[in-house]
Amino acid sequence: MIVKDSWVRIHKIILSPPERAPQVPDDTKKVPLELWTKGFLEKDANLGDEVTVITVTGRKEQGTLIEVNPAYDHSFGNFIPELLKIDQQVREMVFGGEENDQ
Amino acid sequence: MTSRATDYASVMARKQEIMLKSVGIDYSKFESGSLAFDYERMMRETGYSLEEMQQIQYGVNVGNTPILELKNLTALARTCAPKGMGARIFIKDEACNPSGSFKARRAANSVYHAKRLGYKGVLTATSGNYGAAVASQAAIHGLKCIVVQECYDSKGKGQPEIIEKARKCEALGAEVVQLSVGPELFYKFLLLLEETGYFNASLYTPFGIAGVETLGYEISMQFREKYGKDPDVVVCTNAGGGNLTGTARGLIKAGAKCEIIGASVDLSGLHMASDLAFNRKSFTTGHTGFGVPFSSWPDRSDVPRSAARPLRYMDRYVTITQGDVFYITQCLATLEGLEKGPAGNTALAAAFALAQEYPEDTTIIVQETEYTGAGKHLQPQLSFARDNGIRIFFGDPEEEVPGENIILPSQPSMIKAKEVDLDRMRKSLIKQAMATYQVAQPTEEDIKFLAEETRTHPDYVKDTIKSL
């Protein structure tokens, strides 16, 4: 049970494929237009329930409850070793090679 | 109001009514009745004077960012250039603004204006730095703020750069509404404007564009003070056109006569509204997907008449590859000790190549930088590309195919700025204007207007119309 006033994330479909704009490309027309937002849960509920949230601007939005205390999980990703090669290459071009090391 | 129809077609049909209420500008005042409209009068009567804008911006800690000379990057460019060539490269470090980019200037004016008109909140549709800028300014003024973003593909996979911007907006107190791919973002945006009655902090209103004039003006003043002259060349990253338009107008107001060069990342071949292509690009703005259509037809924005009209000011327009921009972003870190966001370095990558065309005693300035961090950094962006099956390798950037590979130049001398055919864009603008306003017989005023729009001569416009 997720209690009222918890900070949650909701998801909903706002346009189904047939309702999509005429100008969208075919691959996009095959899928719905989806929405995600966050807010305070209006009433106690469970994950997967249809709920209403009050957003930080005081607006109400309905959708499926998908996450409690939603976290940011973006990061610096996997390491890209090519960047080290760029470092070595341009430092050598501007400052010279090993013979210039003190 | 909630009882009104909310289907796509009904909401779009109410577009003009919603816009008028949310922007507070009656654009019809500036219309001629034909295709021409009075651009300068619109900028004068609905914008702010340069002095007023400086007061507004400096009052909220926006602007007066430093100009930095990139001596080591200049040295690298000179190793690639013929003897005696290689202009001195400078950047205006706009990442120093409160929200981490030059967009703070646009937002400062828009939000100030919203507050003055008594709106309770501001709404903006952007996946870019402008969202954070509006959120930051709304925070200072105690206004509510909603940012609507195009963020995920149909598998729920989001661009790391956009997710970071959502985090930043939320950190600054805004509500972020995230959507999957598609131009119907505008539909949800209109619904939200109608529901909240907030001000539409559009990127394309006169306040927003005029807000960038301070940037151009500062470049001239700071350069004169430090180096005794104006820069010879100013390079602007070009997407919706506001950055270039505002900067150029500010330079003109300072009396500077610099060459203005627009630069975009080449994403040709990727459809901007395609669900499948969405996560196959590494740049979410500053690319040809916006730069080319918005320059050749500015009035495709969320206001009836855009204040961003870059073809009026551009001397040259060049493209650069994704691999080039990532390479230069790494050079900036390793040679200058400056970590900045890749998208803001689009013009820098172009400037690195362009500098090699100019003698050593000339100066070239890139008029922006942007903040960097998790998601919004070359490391996660390249990692995301690799995870999505984009091949990343060293080679000739000339062979890069957007959506398939990112080619890091094997040598910095391989970074080339590719010329965009401005003549073609001018003709395209004239053609589009004639078609949009369905003008059979253009008036003298129309001809004069189109000559101004395309920076050409009335005879050029007449010849183009004849050839249509």
In chain B, which residue's Cα lies nearest the Cα of A61?
B177
Q: Render pLDDT for B241-275 as a digit per residue (tens, 0 to 9).
A: 999 999 999 999 999 999 999 999 999 988 888 99
3-state secondary structure of B176: strand
Whether B280 and B182 map to the same domain: the answer is no
Q: Give the 3-state secondary structure percentages of chain A, helix then strand then coil, rounded to 5.
A: 25, 35, 45
**What are φ and ψ of residue B323, in 5° steps?**
-60, -40
Tokens 């654009």 belong to which residue?
B27
Q: Which residues of chain B are within 8 Å of residue A21 when distances are taken between CB atoms?
A: 8, 182-184, 187
Tokens 């109001």 belong to which residue?
B1
Number of domains in chain B: 3
Please give the interface size between A and B, counted as residue pairs whose CB atoms are below 8 Å apart.
Answer: 157
Whether B275 and B360 map to the same domain: the answer is yes
Q: Render pLDDT for B381-439 as a digit per residue (tens, 0 to 9).
A: 999 999 999 999 999 999 999 999 999 999 999 999 999 999 999 999 999 999 999 98
Between CA B344 and CA B359 the distance in angstroms is 25
At position B129, the amino acid (one-letter code) is N
Considering CB atoms only, which of A31, A80, A90 is closest to B412? Answer: A90
Calculate how close chain B gets to A31, using CA atoms only, in Å.
7
Whether B400 and B263 map to the same domain: the answer is yes
Whether B287 and B179 map to the same domain: the answer is no
Q: Which two three-digit tokens encode residue B461? A: 């416009």
Radius of gyration of chain A (CA): 24
Calculate how close chain B gets to A76, using CA atoms only, in Å.
4
- Is any Cβ of chain A less than 8 angstroms from the Cβ of B180? yes
- Is any Cβ of chain A less than 8 angstroms from the Cβ of B413? no
The residue ranges of DSSP E strands in B248-310, in sequence order, are: 259-265
Helix axes B458-467, B444-454, angle to 10 degrees: 100
Angle at CA of residue B283, ends B281 and B284, nearest 5°: 100
Q: Which two three-digit tokens encode residue B320? A: 């650069």
Between CA A93 and CA B327 the distance in angstroms is 14
CATH number at residue B150: 3.40.50.1100
Whether B3 maps to a domain, the answer reads: no
Q: Which two three-digit tokens encode residue A45? A: 């509920």
State residue B289's pLDDT score: 87
Of B208, B211, B210, nearest to B57 (Cα)? B211
Last residue of a domain, one of B398, B419, B440: B419
Last residue of a domain, one of B157, B178, B204: B204
Contacts of A89 (CB under 8 A, 6+ apart): B411, B412
Whether B263 and B296 map to the same domain: the answer is yes
Per-domain residue ranges of chain A: 1-70
Q: Which residues of chain B are within 8 Å of residue A72 when distances are taken between CB atoms?
A: 163, 167, 374
The dihedral built from the CA positions of residue B162, B165, B167 and B170, taken in this order, carries a sign that is negative
Between CA B137 and CA A30 the distance in angstroms is 38
Of chain B residues 344-373, which have a CB less than 8 A from chain A?
none
Q: How many CA atoms lie within 13 A of B372 on its CB side?
A: 21
State residue B208's pLDDT score: 87
Q: Residue A100 above 70 pLDDT?
A: no
Kindly determine whether residue B175 and residue A57, on different chains, have CB atoms separated by under 8 Å: yes
Between CA B436 and CA B300 the distance in angstroms is 11
Whether B226 and B299 map to the same domain: the answer is yes
Say if CB B134 and CB B105 are below 8 A apart: no
State residue A98's pLDDT score: 63
Radius of gyration of chain B (CA): 21
Whether B91 and B177 map to the same domain: the answer is no
The dihedral built from the CA positions of residue B213, B216, B222 and B228, taken in this order, carries a sign that is negative
Which phi-psi region, left, alpha or beta, contains residue B294 (left: φ > 0; alpha: ψ -120 to 50)?
A: alpha
The DSSP code sequence of B326-383 is: HHHHHHHHHHH-----SGGGHHHHHHHHHGGGSBTT-EEEE------BTTBSHHHHHH
Last residue of a domain, one of B170, B204, B238: B204
Of B218, B200, B181, nearest to B93 (Cα)? B218
Q: Which two three-digit tokens encode residue A95? A: 């400052």
- Secondary structure tally for chain A: helices H, strands E: 2, 4
Calculate how close chain A gets to B383, using CA atoms only, in Å.
5
- Which regions of chain B are under pLDDT 70? 1-2
Q: Which residues of chain B are within 8 Å of residue A80 when distances are taken between CB atoms?
A: 378-379, 382-383, 386, 392
Whether B183 maps to a domain, the answer reads: yes
Contacts of A38 (CB under 8 A, 6+ apart): A7, A8, A9, A10, A53, A55, A56, A70, B170, B175, B176
Neighbours of B85 (CB within 10 A): 16
State residue A101's pLDDT score: 53
**For residue B111, with 0-12 CB atoms within 10 Å meaning exposed, 13-18 middle and 19 or more buried, which class applies?**
buried
The CATH class that applies to domain A1-70 reads mainly beta
Pairing relationship of beta strands B144-152 and B121-125 according to DSSP bridges: parallel
Q: How far from B364 is each of B16, B84, B190, B233, B353, CA to CA, in Å?
A: 42, 15, 41, 5, 11
The dihedral built from the CA positions of residue A11, A14, A16 and A17, taken in this order, carries a sign that is negative
Q: How far from B426 is each of A9, B204, B296, B298, CA to CA, in Å?
A: 46, 20, 7, 12
- Is any Cβ of chain B less than 8 angstroms from the Cβ of A100? no
Kindly determine whether residue B75 and residue A94, on different chains, have CB atoms separated by under 8 Å: yes
Band (pLDDT 50/70/90 cuts) for residue A60 is: very high
Q: Which domain range does residue B241 map to?
A: 62-98+209-419
Whether B85 maps to a domain, the answer reads: yes
Whether B163 and B180 map to the same domain: the answer is yes
State residue B272's pLDDT score: 80
Kindly determine whether residue B76 and residue A90, on different chains, have CB atoms separated by under 8 Å: yes
| A82-85 contacts at long range (C-beta below 8 A, 24 or more positions apart) | A82/B382, A82/B392, A82/B393, A82/B394, A82/B408, A83/B330, A83/B378, A83/B379, A83/B382, A85/B394
Q: Render pLDDT for B330-361 as a digit per residue (tens, 0 to 9).
A: 999 999 999 999 999 999 999 999 999 999 99
Q: Which residues of chain B are within 8 Å of residue A19 when distances are taken between CB atoms?
A: 7-8
3-state secondary structure of B151: strand
Q: Which residues of chain B are within 8 Å of residue A24 when distances are taken between CB atoms?
A: 182-184, 273
State residue B127's pLDDT score: 86
> In the 8-state DSSP scheme, what is residue A4?
T
Kindly determine whether residue A80 and residue B394, on different chains, have CB atoms separated by under 8 Å: no
Q: Which two three-digit tokens encode residue B335? A: 């040679």
Whether B182 and B271 map to the same domain: the answer is no
Say if CB B77 and CB B352 are below 8 A apart: yes
Whether B87 and B164 map to the same domain: the answer is no
Tokens 């999505």 belong to which residue?
B388
Say if CB B64 and CB B58 are below 8 A apart: yes
Whether B305 and B356 map to the same domain: the answer is yes
Whether B156 and B214 map to the same domain: the answer is no
Predicted ipTM? 0.94
